């Protein structure tokens, strides 16, 4: 099978996908923005061919590149795994007659209001929402639904650009920041109180072949706005054993069917609280922030290779062991500026060395990144344990014990 893979070089973990495709016997052509001589020898070894384009989200350039590859031989699949690449790739895929995620499905997985409208029609419980470029319509939505509400870009991923509004003044400020009334169309959503997590799958022809569940501590919006919090997310190894996940699994499968997702990775966010289980959003792509790396360690399998095997051969090859829970904790600097050092780090690494997967600890003198830059900005540590509750306790202790001194 010949697979074109979009942007194999950036970000860094993108190289895992062509590596995996090569291991299952695919012929792999990369399309990316870097010049070919900028690719390292290992990545070049996984690619049978490579085409540079000005931008992988510039559809005319992508269309020309894909047709150039097709002119030299048959192409079976055209694949992308980064959120911003999914919709333009789907449009090019359809123009070139290549099987895979359709433009309709990619659009519904990208545009929040359209996504929720389609899912409400399919009976999936969602927060109340609307999409609009009118300030008056946003104000009317707030009056009907009541505060708090969330404003976010229509095509934002996770909490990127999302703002919680608790009153009229905050609403006006958020609309001004998001340029509502000046050409920008946004999603306005009911705020759902409760615990937040995500349900990830690998699907073949719309059927779930593998599934994983991960929990956020605390929720993403709070985590990305609060410096003193050392946020975590933990992949549970109780997916098959706990009946509590049956409702999440059932909802996730209904979403996949309703949106017409075929053979793909998926990443679905959900809330559970006083109003029950509510769908938040889905991407027809793998999760970000290294979540698949945690799944590899917690299940003692190569999830990237399994994705490639499903894509190329249409069937599973590995079984998840569910042997470990695995999680990441993000360690925020005490202030913006430059990192000066770490307090409590050596003791924690000694105490929990047997649980350590890996870590990223920028050296003294490194510039800090803003709090909202995400879970893998600044310092982070990944760990695993046989028991989920034990791992939660370990990561909590790491968060209490380690300080990243900066200023």
Please give the structure tokens belonging to residue 369. 């990144």
Same domain (yes/no): 95, 227: no
Same domain (yes/no): 334, 226: yes
Residue 225 pLDDT: 83
Residue 364's CB: how many other CB atoms inside 10 A? Answer: 11
Residue 158 pLDDT: 55
User: In which domain, by residue range, is 32 found?
Assistant: 2-100
Same domain (yes/no): 250, 144: no
DSSP letter, residue 362: P
Residue 244 pLDDT: 84
- pTM score above 0.85: yes
Please give the structure tokens belonging to residue 72. 């030299």
Task: Report residue 359: phi and psi, to 5°.
Answer: -155, 160
Residue 285 pLDDT: 97
Please give the structure tokens belonging to residue 11. 């970000």
Give me the residues of the chain with pLDDT under 70, please.
156-160
If 0-12 CB within 10 Å is exposed, 13-18 middle and 19+ buried, where does residue 159 land?
buried
Residue 100 pLDDT: 96
Same domain (yes/no): 186, 211: no
Same domain (yes/no): 9, 39: yes
Residue 97's CB: how many other CB atoms inside 10 A? Answer: 8
DSSP letter, residue 244: G
Residue 381 lies inside a defined structural domain of this protein: yes
Query: In CATH, what number is assigned to the domain containing residue 247?
Result: 3.30.470.20
Provide the number of structural domains found in the chain.
3
Same domain (yes/no): 200, 177: no
Residue 156 pLDDT: 66
| Rounded Cα distance, 310 and 306, in Å | 6
Please give the structure tokens belonging to residue 182. 């000046």
Residue 241 pLDDT: 81
Last residue of a domain, one of 141, 157, 190: 190
| Token pair 């028991």: residue | 387
Same domain (yes/no): 238, 220: yes
Q: Quick check: helix, strand or coil at residue 353?
A: helix
């Amino acid at each position: 099978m010949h697979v074109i893979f979009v942007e194999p070089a950036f970000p860094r973990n993108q190289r895992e996908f062509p590596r995996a495709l090569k291991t299952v016997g695919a012929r792999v052509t990369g399309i990316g923005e870097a010049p070919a001589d900028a690719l390292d020898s290992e990545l070049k070894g996984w690619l049978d061919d490579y085409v540079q384009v000005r931008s992988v989200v510039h559809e005319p350039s992508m269309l020309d590149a894909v047709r150039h590859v097709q002119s030299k031989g048959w192409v079976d699949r055209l694949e992308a795994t980064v959120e911003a690449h999914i919709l333009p790739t789907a449009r090019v895929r359809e123009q070139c007659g290549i099987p895979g995620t359709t433009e309709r499905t990619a659009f519904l997985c990208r545009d929040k209001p359209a996504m929720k409208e389609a899912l409400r029609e399919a009976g999936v419980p969602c927060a109340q929402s609307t999409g609009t470029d009118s300030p008056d319509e946003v104000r009317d939505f707030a009056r009907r639904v009541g505060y708090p509400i969330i404003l976010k870009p229509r095509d934002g991923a996770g909490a990127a650009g999302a703002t919680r509004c608790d009153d009229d003044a905050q609403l006006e400020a958020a609309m001004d920041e998001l340029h509502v009334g000046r050409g920008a169309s946004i999603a306005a959503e009911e705020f759902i109180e409760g615990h937040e997590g995500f349900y990830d799958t690998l699907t073949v022809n719309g059927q779930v072949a593998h599934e994983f569940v991960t929990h956020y501590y605390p929720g993403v919006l709070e985590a990305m706005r609060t410096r003193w919090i050392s946020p975590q997310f933990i992949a549970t190894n109780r997916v098959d054993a706990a009946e509590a996940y049956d409702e999440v699994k059932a909802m996730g499968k209904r979403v996949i069917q309703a949106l017409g997702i075929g053979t793909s990775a998926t990443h679905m966010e959900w809330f559970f609280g006083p109003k029950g289980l509510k769908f938040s959003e889905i991407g027809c792509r793998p999760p970000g922030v290294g979540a698949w790396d945690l799944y590899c360690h917690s299940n003692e399998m190569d999830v990237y290779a399994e994705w490639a095997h499903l894509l190329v051969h249409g069937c599973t090859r590995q079984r998840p062991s569910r042997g470990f829970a695995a999680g990441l904790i993000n360690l925020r600097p005490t202030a913006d500026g430059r990192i000066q050092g770490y307090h409590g780090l050596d003791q924690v690494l000694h105490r929990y060395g047997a649980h350590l997967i890996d870590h990223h600890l920028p050296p003294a003198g490194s510039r800090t990144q803003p709090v909202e830059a995400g879970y893998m900005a600044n310092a982070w540590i990944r760990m695993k344990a046989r028991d989920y509750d034990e791992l939660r306790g370990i990561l909590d202790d790491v968060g209490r014990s380690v300080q990243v001194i900066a200023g």
